[in-house]
Amino acid sequence: MKLFRKPLMIEAQGSFAAGGTVIREKGTYEEAHALSPEGQEKHVDHGYVFYQIPADARKNALLFLHGAGQSGACWETTPDGREGFQTLFLRKGYKVYIMDQPRRGRAGSGGVEGKVTSVADEALWFDIFRFGHYPHYFENVQIPREEEAENQFWRKVTPNTGAFDPKLTAVALADAAGRAGNTILVTHSQGGSPGWLAAMKSANIKAIIALEPGVGFVFPEGEVPPPMESSSPFGPLKGVAVSRSDFEKLTQIPILMIFGDHIPENPSPHGGEDNWRVRLKEARLMAETINRHGGDAKVLHLPDIGIYGNTHFLFEDKNNEEIADLMDRWIVKKGLGG
C-alpha cells in the first residue's frame, strides 16, 4: 500500500455552493418574534463543491458525483488508505471538482421535510455492491477486506436529509460545470440519473463517464423499453422518457459506461447480482439508442477486457489505479485530455 508519494503542486483550491433555491416566507420579519419564519428566507437545495487545480493543469476539469448513501468523501481516499480518484486524477493533471449532491453530506440544507432513520441494512448493501453473498466475499473480489478497511468503508455512508431529486441535482451539476469550464462528468450509481439530465442543460459538459449507473436510464419519448423484471429487492427496472430534443444532446458528447465483475448474463435468484444484470442490459440498450441517433456511447464490462473482481465501487477497489488509467486513456482518445 502506497501512503506517501511525490508531493502534488496545487495552484488553487476552494469550495462553493452550486444551484439551489430560496424559500421566502410571507409576512414581515419582526425582531421581537425572531423565532417565527414570517418574512424570512432560507437558502436550500444546493450542491456543495470542493475543487483543486494542480499546477500546469489540463484544459478540461473532472466533476465527480457520488451515488446513493454516499458523499464526495467516497472519491477522496480508499477504505484501506490508498489514494482515491480525487488525488489520482490530480496527479494526472486534471482540475478536480467533487460534489455533494443537494440534501446530502455538506449540502444537507434541504427545502423539503426529511426523516433520518437508523436501520441495520449493511447485509443488503453487501450483496447489492457485489462484495459477495453476505457475509462471504467472492474469492477474487477487489474491495479491500481488512477489518479496518471494512470499518472505514461503512462509515462513509451518510443519509439523505430530504428525498433524492435527480432534476434538482442536475441543476446543481450544470451550475458547477458552468463554474468549472469545459468539464468531463464522472458519475457513480444513482448519480448517473442527474448526470444525463445535467448534460442536457449544460454545454460545458463535454463527456460523461458513468461508473455503474444504477437508475434513470434515459430514452427518447416513444423508445423506452418495457420494464425489466428482476429478483432485485428494488423490483423491476424502468427507463425514463425524455424529449427527443433533450436526448439528442446526449448524442453530441462521448459517453462511457463502466461495469465491474460478478454480473450474471442470465436471471439469477441472487438479488444483489440480478439487480446489476438488468442495469447492464439497460445501459447497453441506452448506448445502442444513442448510437442509433448518431451519438458515441460505449458500455465497457471489465471482465470482457480481462479485468476481474471489481465491485460496484470500482474507484475504491484495490485496482483503482488501473481503472483510473483506463478512464484517462479514453479521455485522451476522445481528444479531451488537453
| Domain at 178, CATH number | 3.40.50.1820
Residue 70 in domain: yes
Q: E-strand spans in 138-225?
A: 183-188, 205-211, 218-220
- Per-residue pLDDT in tens (0 to 9) along the chain, 338 residues: 555 688 999 999 999 999 999 999 999 999 999 999 999 999 999 999 999 999 999 999 999 999 999 999 999 999 999 999 999 999 999 999 999 999 999 999 999 998 898 999 999 999 999 999 999 999 999 999 999 999 999 999 999 999 999 999 999 999 999 999 999 999 999 999 999 999 999 999 999 999 999 999 999 999 999 999 999 999 999 999 999 999 999 999 999 999 999 999 999 999 999 999 999 999 999 999 999 999 999 999 999 999 999 999 999 999 999 999 999 999 999 999 98
Closest C-alpha to 186, from 45, 83, 336 = 336
Question: For residue 88, what are the domain limits?
Answer: 10-19+47-333
Q: Is the pTM of this model over 0.95?
A: yes
Residue 249 in domain: yes
Closest C-alpha to 149, from 327, 320, 322 = 320
Residue 168 in domain: yes
Residue 76 in domain: yes
Closest C-alpha to 189, from 253, 321, 120, 101 = 101
How many other C-beta atoms are found inside a 10 Å radius of the C-beta of residue 320? 20
Q: Give yes or no for a contact between 329 and 337, defined as CB atoms under 8 angstroms apart.
A: no
Residue 28 in domain: no
Quote the number of domains for the chain.
1
Residue 311 in domain: yes
Angle at alpha carbon of residue 167, lines to 163 and 170, rounded to 5° = 115
Sign, CA dihedral 160-18-197-58, equals: negative
Residue 305 in domain: yes
Residue 38 in domain: no
Q: Give yes or no for a contact between 265 and 156, defined as CB atoms under 8 angstroms apart.
A: no
- Contact partners, residue 271, CB within 8 Å, separation at least 6: 127, 128, 230, 231, 232, 233
